[in-house]
Structure 1
């Protein structure tokens, strides 16, 4: 691997991480604001929070999938191999397995794209933990309000 391609892959990873973290922050911030503004039943409140978090995760996964598709058209940046046909579903599937750190292995990255795949796993792990923490804190808050 050449240094310029590694730097491009790293820059793509950092850029996507920044975008997905900012997007996740905004989604959780809006969800928190909406929770305080409207007095929804607890089940509806939590359901909306979880759905908002899942949508944010899926959008982040799609952004990484788009990056993989773009990188795949630039062979010097690596590509996907294995049980890979080049379909949008393949890029999405690969991104899901990286983001969730499942990593089944039928489709795998080669070359500098491996950097993006590895850092997507770290990014996904942090954002999933953040969503879980936010959901836990929101649930605790709602249960306290229900008891009062």
Structure 2
């Protein structure tokens, strides 16, 4: 069950990221925005895509936390949305402070979220590099 949930989350977050990046690229080709506005739209879109992914994982962790057969999150100050979002954010960004940690099968999802986050963050960084290079190359100044 955890492997299926992990696979579904990886597919959904990757597909969402792809669609957002594609939308920004299409917007850039239409040249409807200034160079600065393009960067603001791109960076804002990438940031929102990452927050969406973190939020999906947080929902999965919350659901699993309340179903003990999957394990739980140890070290939580409480069991509210902020706690699950915080744990998801530390996994996704691979920051992993260690104050909250997964037990049981939930550890698999936590590890795979880190891998998924690392790939998507690298993808955003690569896309940003290419976008900035094109903006500077196309700028006649």
1:27 aligns with 2:3: no
C-alpha deviation, 1:84, in angstroms:
3.4
What are the within-5 Å matches in structure 2 for residues 3-22 of structure 1? 8-22=1-15
1:75 to 68, 83, 91: 68
Q: What is the alpha-carbon distance in structure 2 between the residues aligned to residue 74 and residue 82 of structure 1?
A: 17
SS of structure 1 residue aligned to 2:139: helix
SS of structure 2 residue aligned to 1:90: helix
Which one is further off, 69-78 or 91-100?
69-78
1:130 to 118, 123, 127: 123
2:136 corresponds to which residue?
143
1:117 to 87, 92, 110: 110
What are the within-5 Å matches in structure 2 for residues 87-126 of structure 1? 87-126=80-119
C-alpha deviation, 1:9, in angstroms:
1.1
Q: What is the alpha-carbon distance in structure 2 between the residues aligned to residue 21 and residue 84 of structure 1?
A: 31
C-alpha deviation, 1:37, in angstroms:
1.2
The normalised TM-score by structure 1 is 0.92
The normalised TM-score by structure 2 is 0.97
Could you tell me which runs of 5 or more consecutive residues in structure 2 were left unpaired when the two chains were aligned.
none
Q: What is the alpha-carbon distance in structure 2 between the residues aligned to residue 37 and residue 145 of structure 1?
A: 14
Q: What is the alpha-carbon distance in structure 2 between the residues aligned to residue 127 and residue 115 of structure 1?
A: 18
